C-alpha cells in the first residue's frame, strides 16, 4: 500500500495574502445580513431614538433645570445638548447585541466549524463581523444624531472637530465590536449572546451620559469617573459642543485600544475551543 500525497498548496505567504480577501468576503456577508434584515438596524437605531425623545421631552425640562448654570428657562434645550453624547455612545453600545447574536448563531449553527475546516485565517472570519458592526454602528450613530438635530440639537463643531468625531466614534465602535464578538463566542446560547451586551448600554447611565458625575453619591462617582464611557462621552461632548476636553481624548483612545486588544485576544483564544460543539 502506498500513500497518496499532494503538494501542500497553502504556504504561509499565500495564506497571508488571502487573509485580506477573506476578510472582505466575510465583511460582505455581514453587510448583506444588514441589508437583508433591516429589522435589526431599525431596532439598533429605534432604541436610542426613543430614549432620546423620552429624556428630552418627558424628563428634559426637570433634569435640564438641575444642570450647573441653567435655570428653568431653556432647560429642555440645555438638557438635549447635555444628553446627546451619552445617547450616541449608547447607540454604539447597542449594536454589540446584534453582533454577539450573529456570532453566536454562527457558532451554534456550525458555520464557524465549517469555516474552520477550510483554509481561512480565523482572524478574517472574526474581522468580517467586527468591520461589519463598526460600519453598522457608524450609520446608526449618524441617524440618531440626525434625529437630535431635527429636534433642536445644535452642535458648534467645525470641520476639523467633525472629522475627529467621526474618527473617534469609528475607533470606539471597532473596540466595542471586538468585545461583542468575544461575548458571542463565549455565550453557550444565542439568548445569552443577545442579552450579555445589554450590560454595555447601562454604562452611559453610570457615567457622565445623563447627569454630571458630581451630582452622584461618592461611591458611584468613583466608578462613574473611572469607567471608559465617561471619557468617551466627554470627548464627544467636547468635539460637538466645545466643552473643555482635558485628558479625555487620550483616555478615550487608551480605553479603546485596551478594549479592542482585550476583545481580540479573548475572541481568538476561545474561538477554536468553542467552535466545536
Please give the grid coordinates belonging to residue 2: 502506498
Give SS3 for 206.
coil
Backbone angles phi, psi at 5, to 5 degrees: -125, 140
Stretch that binds another protein, among 16-24, 41-49, 68-76, 160-168 (CB under 8 A): 16-24
Considering only residues 67, 70, 116, 274, which one is a binding residue for another protein as defined by CB under 8 A?
116
Considering only residues 16, 20, 37, 215, which one is a binding residue for another protein as defined by CB under 8 A?
37
Check residue 205 and report its DSSP letter. T
Considering only residues 20, 21, 58, 198, which one is a binding residue for another protein as defined by CB under 8 A?
21
Distance of closest approach, residue 193 Cβ to another protein, in angstroms: 15
All residues at 6 or more sequence positions from 98 whose CB lies less than 8 Å from its CB, including other chains? 40, 43, 44, 133, 136
Distance of closest approach, residue 79 Cβ to another protein, in angstroms: 40
31 touching another protein, by CB under 8 A: no
* Surface-to-core class of residue 206, CB atoms within 10 Å of its CB (0-12 exposed, 13-18 middle, 19+ buried): middle
Stretch that binds another protein, among 64-72, 108-116, 141-149, 184-192 (CB under 8 A): 108-116
Other residues' Cβ atoms within 10 Å of the Cβ of residue 121 = 15
Considering only residues 13, 68, 118, 160, which one is a binding residue for another protein as defined by CB under 8 A?
118
Residues 128-147 that bind another protein (CB under 8 A): none
36 touching another protein, by CB under 8 A: yes
39 touching another protein, by CB under 8 A: no
Check residue 110 and report its DSSP letter. T
Closest listed residue to residue 30, CA positions, set 119, 114, 101? 101
Other residues' Cβ atoms within 10 Å of the Cβ of residue 269 = 12
Contacts to another protein by CB under 8 A: 1-6, 8-10, 15, 18, 21-22, 25, 29, 32-33, 36-37, 105, 109-111, 113-120, 275-276
Amino acid at each position: 500500500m502506498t500513500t497518496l500525497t499532494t503538494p501542500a498548496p497553502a504556504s504561509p505567504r499565500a495564506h497571508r495574502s488571502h487573509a485580506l480577501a477573506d476578510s472582505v468576503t466575510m465583511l460582505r456577508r455581514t453587510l448583506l445580513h444588514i441589508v437583508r434584515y433591516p429589522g435589526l438596524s431599525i431596532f439598533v437605531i429605534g432604541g436610542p431614538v426613543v430614549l432620546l425623545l423620552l429624556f428630552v421631552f418627558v424628563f428634559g425640562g426637570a433634569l435640564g433645570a438641575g444642570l450647573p448654570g441653567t435655570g428653568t428657562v431653556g432647560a429642555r434645550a440645555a438638557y438635549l445638548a447635555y444628553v446627546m453624547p451619552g445617547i450616541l455612545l449608547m447607540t454604539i453600545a447597542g449594536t454589540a447585541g446584534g453582533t454577539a447574536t450573529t456570532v453566536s448563531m454562527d457558532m451554534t449553527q456550525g458555520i464557524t466549524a465549517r469555516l474552520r475546516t477550510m483554509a481561512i485565517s480565523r482572524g478574517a472570519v472574526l474581522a468580517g463581523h467586527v468591520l461589519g458592526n463598526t460600519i453598522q454602528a457608524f450609520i446608526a450613530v449618524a441617524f440618531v444624531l440626525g434625529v437630535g438635530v431635527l429636534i433642536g440639537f445644535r452642535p458648534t463643531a467645525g470641520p476639523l472637530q467633525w472629522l475627529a468625531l467621526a474618527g473617534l466614534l469609528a475607533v470606539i465602535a471597532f473596540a466595542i465590536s471586538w468585545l461583542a464578538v468575544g461575548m458571542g463566542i463565549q455565550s453557550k446560547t444565542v439568548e445569552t449572546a443577545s442579552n450579555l451586551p445589554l450590560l454595555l448600554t447601562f454604562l452611559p447611565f453610570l457615567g457622565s451620559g445623563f447627569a454630571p458625575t458630581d451630582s452622584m453619591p461618592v461611591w458611584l462617582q468613583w466608578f462613574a469617573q473611572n469607567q471608559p464611557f465617561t471619557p468617551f462621552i466627554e470627548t464627544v461632548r467636547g468635539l460637538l459642543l466645545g466643552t473643555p476636553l482635558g485628558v479625555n481624548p487620550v483616555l478615550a483612545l487608551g480605553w479603546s485600544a485596551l478594549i479592542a486588544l482585550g476583545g481580540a485576544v479573548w475572541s481568538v483564544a476561545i474561538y477554536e475551543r468553542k467552535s466545536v460543539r
